[in-house]
Amino acid sequence: MPKNIETEEHFENLLVANSDMIFPHAFLFKFKGVGITRTTEERTHADMCLVSHDCTQWWIIEVELVKNRYYTIEEIQPQIARQADADWSRVTKDIVKIVIEMGANANDAKQLHEIEPKFILLINEIDKLMLEIADDHDFKVVAMKPLMGDKGNFALIPMLQQVNPKPPEKSIIRIKGENIDVSANCLWIPLPKNIKKKLKKNKCMVSIDGTHHILPLHPNGKIAIPISKNKNSQSSGLAYRTLRCVFESEVDEILNLKFVEEKRWKYG
């Protein structure tokens, strides 16, 4: 069994699988759309795309495995130069369709037609020459190092992250731990008055632990979120007070409360 990832496709699959942890407030997806360079009218392909949840920013991503100096100069540098020079406006309708399917507000997504993309070079380890070339072409760098665990599965270790979209503060809900009750294997969480007003049919969708729950508002003004049996889950983290109770709210056909993972204590 290989101890390192061997292909860009494998790396991309790992990035998508861990996207909620790497970019918790953005949509990350594979995207092989074509841009046309303004200078020479050459075709250039993207590898992935990143769009903030509020659709106010988006990025064309070039994914690369660090190899050697020759490959960086002869292959990567010309590629990101073409991407930086390209007109990407013809792919925005595809981007809009994809992010709406992923849960973006349709009206928010339409504004992407008027927004120029920025650029990310996403690599598997820090490389000085790549950082220099990326900076020369106005690319931000995200470096995620794959690390294989004892069972042969890979995890991604953040080495450098120059891009990490934040949610609009107005959409953030913070609930104090002392106001949360734990009973009947559920977290009983009170909703603020301004959030209750947004409920339709007295229900909301809660996204936590990698799944979605449609939950009613109970007469006590609280929703009851099931606690996962997985001790490393987000709901268990709330129950044991290792995580703060923070949600990002979005209103579409139903109010969606997406859990935002914030540790109460950090190392260092």
Residue 210: CB atoms within 10 A of its CB come to: 11
- pLDDT one-digit tens code per residue, 216-241: 999 999 999 999 999 999 999 999 99
The whole-angstrom separation of Cα 4 and Cα 108 is 39
Q: What is the pLDDT of residue 5?
A: 78
Q: What is the pLDDT of residue 153?
A: 80
The whole-angstrom separation of Cα 61 and Cα 2 is 26
- Highest-confidence segment of 73-77, 190-194, 252-256: 73-77
Q: Give the three-state DSSP class for 26.
A: strand
Q: Which residues make Cβ contacts (< 8 Å) with residue 114, sequence separation at least 6?
A: none
**Does the pLDDT at position 267 exceed 50?**
no
Q: Decide which of 3.30.160, 3.30.1330, 2.60.40, 3.40.1350 is the CATH code for 8-161.
A: 3.40.1350
Which residue in this structure is represented by tokens 């109460």? 264
Residue type for 266, please? K
- pLDDT one-digit tens code per residue, 129-149: 999 999 999 999 999 999 887
Which sign, positive or negative, has the C-alpha torsion 99, 105, 110, 116?
negative
- Domain-by-domain residue ranges, the chain? 8-161, 169-259
Q: What is the pLDDT of residue 1?
A: 40
- Banded model confidence at residue 3, pLDDT cuts 50, 70, 90: low
The residue with greater pLDDT, 268 or 84, is: 84
